Amino acid sequence: MRRIAFVGAGAMGSYVGARMAASGEDVTLIDPWPEHVEALKRDGVVLSGTQGDARIPIKALHIHEVQGLSRRPVDIAFISVKSYDTEWATMLIRQYLAPGGFVVSLQNCINEERIAGVVGWGRTVGCIASTIGVSVDRPGHVVRTYKPGGASYTVFRVGEVHGRVTQRAEELVRMLSAVDSAELTTDLWGERWSKLTANSMHNGLAGSTGLGHTGVYGQAAPRGIAIRLGGEAVKVGRALGFSVESIRGIPADALEAAAYGDASARTTVESVIAGWMTRMTDEGRPSMAHDILKGRRTEIEYINGTVVEKAAEVGIPVPTQVAMLELVRRVERGDLAPDIRNLAALPG
């Protein structure tokens, strides 16, 4: 049996790790939040939300206990921390990898290069989680606010950085299928940019306004801003050479055209977004909204900030992305409180 560790046992790490453990995998969760780790040790992962209630026993370690892994090296290490913590988390687990062990980025943003800088490209695999919708509301308790993707929507996409099909990638797909729908992709970078585009559409909007998923996409004003953000990101991704085909089911051509004023394309995009609402709940919030509410640092520099940085490299104006980046920075600093009236600071 493969020995699996999740470095970062927040909402994503705890939820995915618990579901894997319930399917029979050997899983250990590692996290720096003492109260959370103690709750995991005592009670396991307590799950609630759209998949019902469950309590799943699991192994958990404080950071200072990780050295014990020297007796049981790790075959698969999932990095599921915030993007700004990627390097130290990868460095932490690197020395406890078994021969042939590898590291999987199960994160927002594009962090494979950061991981490879620590363990090498040959030990780096990517995994995109799309619309899984999980949050930690108290130590040891994870709530899922999105309905499962199942056959209608693929939540996990696993890919090698070189784009080839490998046994280890296929094994990851099998493991993740016990959590929700999963498939192998031979275009990790295109998939990563598509996910970054989606995150750039709603994370900053939710963080700066206090809205949840249904608030962002169920109201005309924030939805229109989300479409403009998405279209700008698609344009940048294509200029960079990524194969950006669809964003959560929205054809990339339609999203880009809608962002720049095409009424017919806007109708197409609005229709797809309306279909998203069936999997959303009123309680669901993007991760950045949770970060702002809890007074934590956000990933805005790694989401909209990445789009802005790459846009400058290829010479494409992205005024909505730039404005969103600055707006969230102001809210993060405490200069502004989250409020829908903050949208007035964004291009009309």
Of 216, 193, 194, nearest to 288 (Cα)?
A: 216
- CA-based angle 192:195:147, to the nearest 5? 130
Which CATH superfamily, name and number, covers 3-186? NAD(P)-binding Rossmann-like Domain (3.40.50.720)
| 340-344, long-range: CB < 8 A, 24+ apart | 340/209, 340/210, 340/211, 340/221, 340/222, 342/208, 342/209, 343/205, 343/208, 343/209, 343/221, 343/222, 343/225
Cβ neighbours for 142, distance < 8 A, ≥ 6 positions apart: 11, 14, 15, 18, 45, 46, 47, 48, 49, 134, 135, 136
Of 133, 109, 135, 128, nearest to 276 (Cα)?
A: 133
Domains 3-186 and 191-345 share a fold: no
Q: What is the mean pLDDT of each run of 10 residues along the chain (348 residues)?
A: 96 98 98 98 96 96 97 97 98 98 97 98 97 93 92 94 98 97 97 97 96 94 97 98 92 97 97 91 87 94 98 98 98 96 90
pLDDT of residue 223: 96
pLDDT of residue 152: 85
pLDDT of residue 279: 87
pLDDT of residue 259: 97
Task: Report the 10 Å Cβ neighbour count for 54.
Answer: 14
pLDDT of residue 112: 98
Residue spans of the domains in the chain: they are 3-186, 191-345
Of 124, 269, 143, 266, nearest to 198 (Cα)?
A: 269
The architecture CATH gives domain 191-345: Orthogonal Bundle (1.10)
pLDDT of residue 140: 97
9/93 Cα distance (integer angstroms): 14
pLDDT of residue 151: 84
